[in-house]
Amino acid sequence: VKDLRGNPFIGNTADQPISVSVFTPDTTAPQLLSWTLDLSLHRFSLIFNEFVSYSTVRPSSLELLSSSNLASPSLVRFQLTNYSKLYQGDVTQNEVLLDLELYRQDAFALESLVPQGLGINVSNTFLAISNLSDIFGNAQQGVQIVQASEVTPDTVSPKLEAFDFDYNSLGSAAIVTAYFSKVIEISSFDCHDFEMRSSPSASSLHVVHFS
């Protein structure tokens, strides 16, 4: 650092500290600036105006809304549960950007609400957030409702992840329980689309067609 004449700045040393003449502490609570929702990845990305205390970011403080008008008769609400988790970074770090990923229970519950008008696009996707504090202990007062800046629709096809076959079920028919990767539209489910094979090969020796 130099002045206009080129004279170098000679800084003070550690044993000659300079006291602060005026100190103004941070007394402002954190605010959510923007957020995005990716329905394919089941992920929320939240951007705050300052570092938030990680211990105050709780799923119970986050609620997804189809409108900012809480009195709307057509309002659809989705309360996150403890099945949500911090997706990126060390959860012990205080962050400005937080990614939240949903576990199966929350992800399936959210998917089932999309046909009711929640999370289709930014016009019907809002987040109500409350009870946050920054790293200086400044607590958020009331509830802040912020519209999503981007909504990525679900474009991932469902997959059959596993199934159970019960020979000992009550009644004359065995029970097949199928586990899918996401919520299935029941009207599209047709037993004729499934068959059981004795091996993964397309030329399996034994094949049972469902009816």
H/E stretch holding 100:
strand 95-102
- Buried b / exposed e over 22-35, threshold 16 CB at 10 Å, is eeeeeeebbebeeb
User: Under the phi-then-psi rule, with left for phi > 0, alpha for psi from -120 to 50, and beta for the rest, what region is 131?
Assistant: left
Record the pTM.
Answer: 0.74
pLDDT of residue 194: 79
Structurally, at CATH architecture level, domain 32-152 sits in Sandwich (2.60)
Q: Is 75 helix (H, G, I), strand (E, B) or coil?
A: coil
Mean pLDDT confidence for 73-102: 79
Q: For the chain, which residues make up each domain, given as ranges?
A: 32-152, 160-209
State the burial class of residue 109 (Cβ atoms within 10 Å of its Cβ: 0-12, 13-18, 19+). middle
Confidence of residue 37 (pLDDT cuts 50, 70, 90): very high
